[in-house]
Amino acid sequence: MHLDDLDERIVHALAQDARRSFADIGQLVGLSAPAVKRRVDRLRATGAITGFTVRVDPAALGWGTEGYVEIYCRGKTSPDAIRRGLERYPEIVSASTVTGDADALVQVLAADMRHFEGVLERIAGEPFVERTRSVLVLSPLLRRDGTPG
């Protein structure tokens, strides 16, 4: 689906604050609240908007350690097999296949270093994992909501 300029502005406004009212968004983009609602309903129906969520500060929930783990797989491991192997870890907040030497890149949130180490050891123990390489985040510099613009 192609988004026109108004749709993109509506999506961006919702990405910044999903609780923003249709009237408020309408003022931002120059539409009435009912017109914004119709567009949001259409964006949801076509799959451009897949849901609404809340952004939470992980540290406020006790998840103060963040790291990224590169996963190098044994043999020909499919992306689906990697996903199935990783989805049971609540500490993994994102996982993607990637270009380069690694097969996948995983973002991990943990309570502390000991917790992170335990998660890393469990990931490394998965049958499809040949080896891992990890880095820890010192200071997040920039976080965006996933929508450009």
CATH number at residue 87: 3.30.70.920
User: What pLDDT is attached to residue 148?
Assistant: 64
The residue range of the domain holding 30 is 5-45
Rounded Cα gap, residues 56 and 66, in angstroms: 14
Rounded Cα gap, residues 79 and 24, in angstroms: 41
Strand, coil or helix: 104: strand
Model confidence at 146: pLDDT above 80: no
Model confidence at 62: pLDDT above 90: no
Q: Note if the pTM is more than 0.85.
A: no
Number of domains forming the structure of the chain:
2
Is 14 among the domain residues? yes
Which position has the token pair 């270093």? Answer: 113
User: What is the mean predicted confidence (pLDDT) over 23-50?
Assistant: 95
Is 82 among the domain residues? yes
33 with 93, same domain?
no
User: What pLDDT is attached to residue 11?
Assistant: 92
Model confidence at 99: pLDDT above 60: yes
User: What is the mean predicted confidence (pLDDT) over 120-137?
Assistant: 97
Rounded Cα gap, residues 136 and 124, in angstroms: 16
